[in-house]
């Protein structure tokens, strides 16, 4: 059974900061399972019932409508704030 | 000292307030009386509860008032009642209601001296009757507690935003708590548990910031659910310490050590969870929130060391 734990991130955070946060939070709270926003800030959700992943999830702006995830396993997709701009984003994890 | 607090202090304070007189002292008083009478033949439960809280002290032009807090939690469960009370003033009052408090620098005992008073009085009476099969048949509980402090405010100098010396008032910390737990399952399985704390000054602040037994009254699941924590990037060395602690907790989950996980959850003031994965998740969540800088990580490591028997 999943035990989701959420963390909010300031909307002005850059993509680099967001990825650094994901890497650190996954080591404590477990793997990232969802990305979204609450209108004012980014919301990251982790599954604390699972062990930390060997390789961290990486966020990237979705490329075009297809939002592909080349070279990794798709983890989550959602709209999050990147440097203040609501951006369609995908999270992938390298195999 | 005559402790007819409710009868004397509240009217006196109200009269002083109406007279509009300035004051350089804070009077904070509570009085609680609880009566519980349970009888299975005939089946009756009688409950009586009486409580008075009173505060008299200065109000400043900017709207500030000296901080105090008093709480009572009781379930008055039939044949297993619990009563928990906390009373605090000054920094201790603020610390005890703050989810992740930072302990302030200890105050040195210096400057002018004035007398203050802080006292509690507690009376508990308990009688339990069992029938011939060993089941509890009746329970009579009488509980009475008074808490009171009369503390003059002090003054100290601090720097304002422009770096100028400004004089501010100070209000010392005192803290008193009591936790009464009664269980009457059978003549052999009957217990009366009592934890009591009484502290002043820096000791009161330390208890308010660190004691799970005292803080649990104020940290609720609802509060946590309503306030998702903000993520912050931490230094690599700190992250390594956080990860080591998280790995330790996950190892307890893997080995199914529910007792140790429960002890950690208690130390962190976390509500009980139904299963090991949920308890582990709640602990990891709390660890992440309580270890945002080296000082808070040190504090967390010290808090859990009696249970984990290692430094993080």
Give the pLDDT confidence of B236-277 residue by residue, as tens digits: 999 999 999 999 999 999 999 999 999 999 888 887 777 899
CB B108 within 8 A of CB B84: no
Read off the DSSP letter of residue B163. S
> Following CA atoms B263, B265, B271, B277 in sequence, which dihedral angle do they give, to the nearest 10 degrees?
-110
Size of interface A-B (CB pairs under 8 A): 62
Residue of chain B whose alpha carbon sits nearest to that of A20? B233
- Tell me how far apart the alpha carbons of residues B84 and B80 are, in angstroms, rounded to a whole number: 13
Helix (H, G, I), strand (E, B) or coil at B128: strand
List chain A residues with CB under 8 Å of B239: 24, 27
Mean of pLDDT values over B50-65: 92
Structural domain spans, chain B: 5-219, 236-308
Structure tokens at B163: 């770096």
Q: How far is CA B267 from the centre of its chain?
A: 13
Mean of pLDDT values over B216-235: 70
Would the CB atoms of A7 and B231 count as touching at under 8 Å?
yes
Q: How many alpha carbons fall within 13 Å on the CB side of residue B6? A: 11
Helix (H, G, I), strand (E, B) or coil at B284: helix
Would the CB atoms of B239 and A24 count as touching at under 8 Å?
yes
Q: How confident is the model at residue A18 (pLDDT cuts 50, 70, 90)?
A: very high
Measured in angstroms, the CA of B280 and the nearest CA of chain A are apart by 7
| Residue B266 burial class via C-beta count within 10 angstroms: exposed 0-12, middle 13-18, buried 19 and up | middle
List chain B residues with CB under 8 Å of A52: 243, 246
Mean of pLDDT values over B204-211: 87
* Best to test chain A binding among B229, B230, B231 (most A CBs inside 10 Å): B231
Mean of pLDDT values over B82-94: 92
Asked if pLDDT for residue B22 goes beyond 90, the answer is: no
Mean of pLDDT values over B133-159: 91
Lowest mean pLDDT among B102-111, B113-122, B174-183, B215-224: B215-224
Measured in angstroms, the CA of A48 and the nearest CA of chain B are apart by 5
ipTM for this model? 0.92
Measured in angstroms, the CA of A78 and the nearest CA of chain B are apart by 18
Which residues of A sit within 8 Å Cβ distance of B? 1, 3, 5-10, 17, 20-21, 24-25, 27-30, 41, 43-44, 48-49, 51-52
Q: How confident is the model at residue B14 (pLDDT cuts 50, 70, 90)?
A: low
Whether omega for the bond prior to residue B42 falls within 30 degrees of 0, making it cis, is yes
Asked if pLDDT for residue A68 goes beyond 50, the answer is: no
Q: How far apart are the first and last CA of chain B?
A: 48
Residue A12 has what pLDDT? 93
Measured in angstroms, the CA of A20 and the nearest CA of chain B are apart by 7
- Tell me how far apart the alpha carbons of residues B209 and A95 are, in angstroms, rounded to a whole number: 44
Structure tokens at B299: 């504090």
Q: How far apart are the first and last CA of chain A?
A: 24
Question: DSSP secondary structure string, chain A?
Answer: ---EEEEEEETT--HHHHHHHHHHHHHHH--EEEEEE-SSEEEEEEETTSPPPSS-EEEEE--TTTT--TTEEEEEEEEEEETTEEEEEEEEEE-
Average pLDDT, chain B: 86
Q: How confident is the model at residue B50 (pLDDT cuts 50, 70, 90)?
A: very high
Would the CB atoms of B243 and A49 count as touching at under 8 Å?
no
Measured between alpha carbons, how far is residue B66 from residues B21, B55, B167, B168, B206 in Å? 17, 10, 16, 12, 19
- Tell me how far apart the alpha carbons of residues B148 and B142 are, in angstroms, rounded to a whole number: 20
Residue B105 has what pLDDT? 86
Residue B187 has what pLDDT? 84
Q: How far is CA B204 from the centre of its chain?
A: 11
Q: How confident is the model at residue A91 (pLDDT cuts 50, 70, 90)?
A: very high
Residue of chain B whose alpha carbon sits nearest to that of A21? B233
Q: Which residue in the set A3, A17, A52 is minimally distant from B281, CB to CB?
A: A3
Would the CB atoms of B231 and A44 count as touching at under 8 Å?
yes
Whole-prediction pTM value? Answer: 0.55
Would the CB atoms of A7 and B229 count as touching at under 8 Å?
yes
């Amino acid at each position: 059974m999943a035990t989701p734990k959420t963390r909010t991130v300031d909307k002005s955070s850059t993509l680099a900061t967001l990825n650094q946060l994901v890497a650190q939070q996954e080591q404590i709270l477990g793997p990232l399972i969802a990305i979204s926003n609450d209108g004012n800030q980014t919301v990251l959700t982790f599954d604390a019932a699972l062990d930390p992943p060997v390789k961290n999830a990486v966020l990237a702006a979705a490329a075009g409508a297809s939002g592909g995830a080349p070279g990794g396993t798709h983890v989550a997709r959602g709209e999050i704030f990147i440097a203040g701009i609501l951006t369609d984003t995908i999270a992938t994890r390298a195999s | 000292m005559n402790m007819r607090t409710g009868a004397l202090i509240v009217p006196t304070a109200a009269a002083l307030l109406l007279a509009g007189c300035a004051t350089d002292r804070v009077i904070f008083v509570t009085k609680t009386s609880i009566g519980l009478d349970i009888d299975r033949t005939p089946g009756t439960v009688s409950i009586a509860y009486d409580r008075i809280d009173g505060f008299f002290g200065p109000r400043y032009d900017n709207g500030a008032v000296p901080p105090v807090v008093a709480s009572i939690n009781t379930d008055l469960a039939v044949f297993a009642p619990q009563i928990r009370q906390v009373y605090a003033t000054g920094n201790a009052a603020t610390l005890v209601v703050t989810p992740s408090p930072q302990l302030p620098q200890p105050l040195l005992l210096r400057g002018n001296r004035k007398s203050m008073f802080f006292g509690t009085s507690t009376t508990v009476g308990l009688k339990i009757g069992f029938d011939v099969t060993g089941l509890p048949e009746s329970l009579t509980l009488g509980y009475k507690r008074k808490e009171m402090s009369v503390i003059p405010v002090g003054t100290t100098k601090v720097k304002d935003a422009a770096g100028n010396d400004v004089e501010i008032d100070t209000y010392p910390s005192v803290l008193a708590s009591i936790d009464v737990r009664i269980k009457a399952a059978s003549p052999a399985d009957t217990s009366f548990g009592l934890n009591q704390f009484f502290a002043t000054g820096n000791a009161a602040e330390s208890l308010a910031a660190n004691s799970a037994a005292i803080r649990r009254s104020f940290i609720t699941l609802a509060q946590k659910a309503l306030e998702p924590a903000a993520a912050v990037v931490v230094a690599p060395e700190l992250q390594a310490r956080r990860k080591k602690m998280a790995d330790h907790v996950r190892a307890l989950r893997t080995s199914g050590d529910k007792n140790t996980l429960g002890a950690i959850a208690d130390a962190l003031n976390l509500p009980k969870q139904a299963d090991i994965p949920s308890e582990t998740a709640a602990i990891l969540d709390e660890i992440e929130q309580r270890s945002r800088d080296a000082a808070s990580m040190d504090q967390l490591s010290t808090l859990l060391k009696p249970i984990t028997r290692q430094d993080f």
